[in-house]
Amino acid sequence: MIITFSKKILFALVILFSVAAAAQNKKFKVVIDAGHGGKDTGTVHNGYKEKAIVLQVALKIGKILESQGYNVVYTRKTDVFIELRERANIANRADANLFISIHCNGVNNKAPYGTETFVMGLSRSDTNLEIARKENNVITLEKDYKIKYKGFDPKSPATSIGINLAQEESRKQSILLATKIHTGFKTGLKKYDRGVKQIPLWVLDATVMPGALIELGFLSNTKEGKYLNSAAGQNEMARSIANAIISYKKQSFGSYIADSQPAIKKNTKAEPVDSKTSAEKSNSKSIALTNKKGVVFKVQIATSKKVLATTPSNFKKLKNISKIKRGSYIRYYYGETTEYDKAKKLMIQAKEKGYASAFIVAFRGNKIITIKEALE
């Protein structure tokens, strides 16, 4: 009896430690977005190009985080042009825990200097709106931008941006992250920090996880530009940002990551949320049967921890709403079609209803795939 009891205890302990170890091994996923790239040089002053500097800093941040066991996703790792919408899509498809966008400032005045950290908001100060205008204006370099970003004028960031349910919940987390970045610059590097600010930036509006856009400094300032263009300066800035991310993760999630969105590998099965009504259950079954036939497109309109009935009254009178759960978040989709052109029309309809951040998602069966894979 004693031997049997001991074996049971030992077995239980093995299971307990295995579960704990598994929880700890769930990697915290960070998307690092090096702003601009390719034909979009960003700001250029004193011979220094924003696109080149931010790429180096982004890669260095990623390397530090990867050495600490973090799962890092890059929107770009080379000098290529990535559309603004695709940057957000990369983060959303990855089910990331954080989105960090790296930029440099630049004005027609050599005097201004210092770092700034931004989170999504609707601040209306003239200075903040000028920065929003600069970062949002990259949209105009994209083909068909008037269709893809219907309802959003990049030259008028004062236009109200539709903040979805997930962003309402993650706003405080974004401010916490930005504050840690701000503190690192100010106290750790003794940099002049211009503070944490909220402005309407499209790329932050379109991502559903906490995030921040960082302006490393002014390339138009001779001294600061030289510092940011140097390997030593880039290493210091990268280390400071990485430390802020690590500190944020520890404070928000501790040693475990179970309460956050889990790292989901490509083509991981989506977990449907049980509908509350028989009509919704019937609709879910028909969607599943349709998915088995091949690739379908849906338009993601919102993400939230709240479970909402998929009735038109909850979604601005839009019909044919479905939902899928990933981790602790529920994604809400409008429409379903096997034709990409029809999906684009559905996306426009969603935007006209006020879902400014709506974007197309492709499914094969119950698995999310990239738009490129779907079209191929």
pLDDT digits (tens, 9 = 90+) for 269-291: 333 333 343 333 333 333 333 33
- The CATH number of whichever domain residue 291 belongs to comes to 3.30.70.1070
DSSP 94-128: TT-SEEEEEEEE--S-SS---EEEEEE-----HHH
CA 148 to chain centre: 18
Domain that holds residue 158: 23-253
* 6 domain-assigned: no
Considering the entire predicted model, what is its pTM?
0.56
- In this structure, are 158 and 296 located in the same domain? no
- In this structure, are 122 and 188 located in the same domain? yes
- In this structure, are 243 and 305 located in the same domain? no
* 203 domain-assigned: yes
Taking the CA atoms of 308, 310, 314 and 316 in sequence, report the sign of the dihedral they define.
positive
Instruction: Please name the amino acid found at residue 337.
Output: T
* 110 domain-assigned: yes
- In this structure, are 278 and 240 located in the same domain? no
* 214 domain-assigned: yes
pLDDT of residue 182: 92
Q: Rounded distance, CA 22 to CA 309, Å?
A: 34
CA 276 to chain centre: 30
Comparing CA positions, the residue from 96, 103, 121, 69 lying closest to residue 210 is 96
- In this structure, are 221 and 337 located in the same domain? no
In SS3 terms, 131-171 reads as HHHHHHHHHHHCCCHHHHCCCCCCCCCCCCCCCCHHHHHHH
* 27 domain-assigned: yes
- In this structure, are 213 and 346 located in the same domain? no
Produce one character per residue of 148-167: b if its CB has 16 or more CB atoms within 10 Å, e if not. Answer: bbbbbebeebeeebbbbbbb
Produce one character per residue of 337-362: b if its CB has 16 or more CB atoms within 10 Å, e if not. Answer: beeeeebbebbbbbbebebbbbbbbb
Number of domains comprising the chain: 2
Distances (CA, A) of 240 to 6, 26, 187, 216, 278: 49, 24, 10, 11, 52
pLDDT of residue 333: 93
- The CATH number of whichever domain residue 241 belongs to comes to 3.40.630.40
* 2 domain-assigned: no
- In this structure, are 181 and 328 located in the same domain? no
- In this structure, are 49 and 102 located in the same domain? yes
- In this structure, are 188 and 76 located in the same domain? yes
* 159 domain-assigned: yes
Low-confidence ranges of the chain (pLDDT < 70): 1-26, 121-170, 200-206, 254-293, 328, 356-357
- In this structure, are 310 and 345 located in the same domain? yes
- In this structure, are 229 and 285 located in the same domain? no
Domain end call among 218, 253, 288: 253
* 3 domain-assigned: no
- In this structure, are 135 and 193 located in the same domain? yes
